[in-house]
Structure 1
């Protein structure tokens, strides 16, 4: 659907504001700009954008027994982590160097090394947790060929420089949709490793569960793993208490099965991590919203 003049103006204004904020922060030393962007997101942007309300609503649905004090803490901590993530991504080489300083650990590292030696493709799956690009940066620094599949932003003006920012962390990059499909498939068939973020609601996804509640989830990562004989490997970057560094974890590959079973295993993996670090997941997403029409289609088996 083409943009209306109103949408175009809104997107331009949003982009100008974000460019000014990000550009100003980039003049500061890294150790200052990251916490400052977190503070601005938590104290200024989140209340104005309705993020605190969204976080509160999701927490009441998913963790209804959470003490009120902890819920209020998360209403501030979640957008703080989001703000840090944004400015880290725009910090390019400085962020990549910070991520590269951490040695990835976990059962999956041996599987990645074996796949690289054999030329077997790998699909690395993460969520909007900690900083979702830190694993990619750390693995690229160690010589792994890791590409990224990303969802273009709805704001085309912001998307233009966002693509440039994530490209400075590493390439190749593949936009979701037809535009990037052929190049992405070729990359996988050549034994590349593809990073994906898969924890957002997809309107035509399968009705799986996340935190015990129905959540529409895309099966694409599992389907591609099966189609191209790729390993399906969860990986996460857990932000350390200093707010600047990460523990990068690579879990064991998900066993082959049906796309639904494999994707549910991905949901379960992320859920276990979020339960341990609830302040690091992006609770602002409408993860559990299922439109009435889509619910009826699922009930009818369509």
Structure 2
């Protein structure tokens, strides 16, 4: 978890401050470019910056650990695709109205759509789970504009200077927003009890979670979303904002509702469904995350390149 600003060293604060200035300057400058060119421009920028920032190294490490069957040329291509998608997503999160218009126009389909609409008709709460895939905020924006009572759980960024800017940007899509932590959990539970819906990005390394298979490797995964669904009789449904072939449009995919059973079984179903989506669209997942730490912090005998 990110530490409090007061706990940072002077060097850490200085690095974060400079990083915040760079990112905000880059985003502000790109806003001068029309949206249809701005989004691919940010993707291009991240493709150039990614090798210098160590992103490609992390992507390679994750892929070598989980997909050793890929060739080096396939890994190279995915490094660029991942950086491009991350850049586009960052530009979209700060775009405001042009992004909301694209999300509103996105077709929404999938076997779980009927369950989602039925829950709204019944006044039943819904726990929607997604991953850092495509643009995860496109799905939330689509549902907000369809009239769903959406709340979202977010994780505070490590950079305290940039975090405030980030929260302001994502809050513009719709509120309430719940910061991960004790206070945010209390507010989120209150929202669920009132029959509201919450969206949770559930594919981060989660201290206190369970090691569950994801791409055949144990990944520390939070079971809290499933526990909330069980406790408050909420429908438990995976959802994704899939990026279109043109790079700026989306399709919102609502997967099958996951039946209530126990938190581990339900959470494993989330992991399996996300893996299915990622395998079909490998370049759209954020392979830059340290999803499998600390499992591959040391070389694995089967995958020497994972060191």
Give the structure-1-normalised TM-score.
0.94
1:254 aligns with 2:258: yes
Equivalence map 1:189-200=2 (5 Å): 189-200=193-204
Whether contact under 8 Å (1:77, 1:279) holds in the other structure is yes
Question: Residue 18 of structure 2 aligns with which residue?
Answer: 13
1:35 aligns with 2:34: no
> Residue 184 of structure 1: CA displacement?
1.0
Question: Residue 125 of structure 1 aligns with which residue?
Answer: 129
- Out of 143, 149, 165, the residue aligned to residue 161 of structure 1 is 165
Runs of 4+ in structure 1 off by over 3 angstroms are none
Q: Structure 2 CA distance, aligned partners of 1:240 and 1:272?
A: 17
Q: Which runs of 5+ in 1 are unaligned?
A: 293-302
Q: CA RMSD in A?
A: 1.2
Equivalence map 1:74-153=2 (5 Å): 74-153=78-157
1:170 aligns with 2:193: no
Deviations 1:192-240 (A, max 9, x none): 1100001111132101100111111010100110111111100001111
Equivalence map 1:56-67=2 (5 Å): 56-67=60-71
Whether contact under 8 Å (1:99, 1:135) holds in the other structure is yes
Task: Describe the SS at the equivalent of 2:246.
Answer: coil
Equivalence map 1:187-226=2 (5 Å): 187-226=191-230
Whether contact under 8 Å (2:107, 2:250) holds in the other structure is no
Question: Residue 296 of structure 1 aligns with which residue?
Answer: none
Deviations 1:81-124 (A, max 9, x none): 00000110001221111111013111111111111111110011
Give the total of aligned pairs: 291
> Residue 291 of structure 1: CA displacement?
5.9
Deviations 1:128-156 (A, max 9, x none): 00001010001111111111100011111
Question: Residue 270 of structure 1 aligns with which residue?
Answer: 274
Whether contact under 8 Å (1:146, 1:172) holds in the other structure is yes
Task: Describe the SS at the equivalent of 2:206.
Answer: coil
Deviations 1:10-55 (A, max 9, x none): 11111001110000001110001100000111112x1111000111
Question: Residue 26 of structure 1 aligns with which residue?
Answer: 31
1:53 aligns with 2:57: yes
Whether contact under 8 Å (1:103, 1:138) holds in the other structure is no
Q: Structure 1 CA distance, aligned partners of 2:19 and 2:73?
A: 33
Whether contact under 8 Å (1:215, 1:290) holds in the other structure is no
